[in-house]
Structure 1
Amino acid sequence: MSEPLIIERNEQWWTFTLNRPEKMNALSPALVQALTDGIQQAHQENISLLIFKGNGKNFCAGFDFTDLETASEGDLLQRIVQIEIMLDLLATSPAMTLALCHGRNFGAGADIIASCKRRIAANGTTFRFPGIKFGLILGTRRFQNIVGTQNALDILSSTRTFDASEALGMGFMQALQDQDQWPQVIEQAQTNNAILSDITRRNLYKVLYANAESDQNLAALVRSAAAPGLKDRIRAYLKPN
């Protein structure tokens, strides 16, 4: 069985490639743990640029519901909390974080993108945050901080799909670059990242992203996920219309 996450390590940057293409890179417990461990290790080694992308036809389809029927509500809650812990680790990273996304992206997959400081999408990329349909408040403040309250309210409350062009217009994406252009995007990110010293970069991010780390994010998530009937709400969401 292949590893769920491939990490390419260089002296100044690491590339994290989600590697469950047969599952649209959905976030299994193993993938979430691998991301958490990898990000923590990168921080310990003072890596200044972290790049995230996905193998296959998309970046990430969000929460993996494969074992829904065998998991207890406690298991599901623990998995959701672990995702939020990983997202918080990414959102508060002292490194520059770059998301390169393509294809159809959902829920916690789109939240990974929102947790990165720079976000690039291929043309044709789409995004959707469906978690509110089963009562889940995950990553909401991060998305709001990027696109503004009114845009966040429109998208999150309707759970509608929005495309790369709309994402660019509201600031969720900062550029549209197809995958064959990503090597140039990475090269430019490396060049830009070298402008500041590590300590200056860390201090700058502490000021600019002072609101990124908040126990309120985790508290809101736990309150929403811990409401009785989580599995039934997920089943209703997954049920074909």
Structure 2
Amino acid sequence: MTDYETLTFEQSGAITRIALNRPDAANGMNGTMTRELADAARRCDTAATKVVVLTGTGRFFCAGGDLKDFAAAPDRGAHVKGVADDLHRAISSFARMNAVLITAVNGTAAGAGFSIAVTGDLVLAAESASFTMAYTRVGLSPDGSASYYLPRLIGITRTKELMLTNRSLSAQAASQWGLVTEVVPDADLAARTDKLAGQIAATAAGSNGGVKALMLATFKNGLEEQMELEGRLIAERANSADGREGVDAFLAKRKAEFA
């Protein structure tokens, strides 16, 4: 089921699946796609959703911004800023929701496609997938949170290399660099993604949200601030229904049944 022009959006129990769906344009991001992605992310930010799977339709995950769309705008700068703002709103929602974001990178991830691929809490990549920044090749600069996540994932030096040389990384290389959680055969990507999504859907959403909140804060907080945040979050979890169920189930030596 979908309500969108450039995305497919399907909810099945606690799992929501989103696919970038402009295969004839290499799933390039235009104004419509980023606006719809921001809305789709907003719809996922509910207690009913524990897992969001984001992938691409066809051979590409996402080739980045749609340059034809950019070039057709009367004011290119204003148009690109609007596209970026909507993309950033989607990424912000994905980062702060309790639901775990699994990005299933089914093919080339370039530009903003690379940027959003590595925002996944868990990143699965097909063996044929590749990753390249590609921004400076067309006289642009990175967006889509690349300048936030990449230095934290791989350091400043490697980030500069990717952004300044537009080096292309294979899925295996991206995994070795720490950008990808797991590389799987192309034919197995969908099944592996479904299995992982089901595994996460059986866990406690509030606990997952706590992990995400701690990771977002860790590079800006000092030691005492981060430990205070840890203390407050674990206390909140201990008083929650899922926290009580988890502890009680462990003590009773049974499997926890989370909401």
State the TM-score bracket (shorter-chain normalisation). 0.7 to 0.9
Instruction: Assess, with a 3 A threshold, how the Cα gap between structure 1 residues 77 and 184 changes in structure 2: closer, same or farther.
Output: closer
Q: 1:116 to 1:25 in 2, by over 3 A?
A: same
2:60 matched residue in structure 1? 58
Whether the 8 Å contact between 1:91 and 1:212 is mirrored in structure 2 is no
Aligned to 1:77: 81
2:153 is aligned with 1:146: yes
Gap regions ≥5 residues in structure 1 = 214-241
Partner of 1:188: 196
Q: Secondary structure at the match of 2:62?
A: coil
Following TM superposition, by how much is the alpha carbon of 1:135 offset from its aligned partner in structure 2, in angstroms?
A: 4.1
Name the aligned partner's letter for residue 30 of structure 2. Answer: S
C-alpha distance after superposition, 1:110-158 (max 9, x if no partner): 1111111111111121111122442423221212222222321221221
| Structure 2 match to 1:110 | 114
Q: 1:38 maps to which residue?
A: 40
Q: Which amino acid aligns with 1:154?
A: E
Indicate how the Cα distance of structure 1 residues 159 and 47 shifts in structure 2: closer, same or farther if over 3 A, else same: same
Counterpart in the other structure of 1:129:
133
Q: Return the offset for 1:200.
A: 1.9
Q: Secondary structure at the match of 2:207?
A: helix
How many residues are treated as equivalent by the alignment?
211
Q: Deviations over 1:141-191 (max 9, x none)?
A: 212222222321221221211111110101111111124322233213321
The higher relative CO (CA closer than 8 Å, separation ≥ 6) is in 1
TM-score (norm 1): 0.80
Equivalent of 1:163 in 152, 170, 184 = 170
Q: 1:69/1:191 Cα in 2 relative to 1: closer, same or farther (>3 Å)? A: closer
Distance in 1 (CA, whole Å) between partners of 2:153 and 2:62 is: 19
Q: Which one of the candidate residues 95, 100, 114 is aligned to 2:99?
A: 95
1:107 and 1:129 in contact (8 A); partners too: yes
Structure whose CA Rg is larger:
2
Q: Secondary structure at the match of 1:209?
A: helix
**Structure 2: tracts of 5 or more residues without a match:** 221-259
Distance (whole Å) between structure 2 residues aligned to residue 141 and residue 132 of structure 1: 17
Residues 120/184 of structure 1: CA separation in 2 closer, same or farther (3 Å cut): closer
Distance verdict in 2 for CA 1:126–1:47, change over 3 Å? same
Judged with a 3 Å threshold, the aligned counterparts in structure 2 of structure 1 residues 193 and 212 are, in CA distance, closer, same or farther, namely farther
Q: Distance in 1 between matches of 2:30 and 2:165?
A: 26
- For the Cα contact (< 8 Å) 2:61–2:108, is it kept in 1? yes
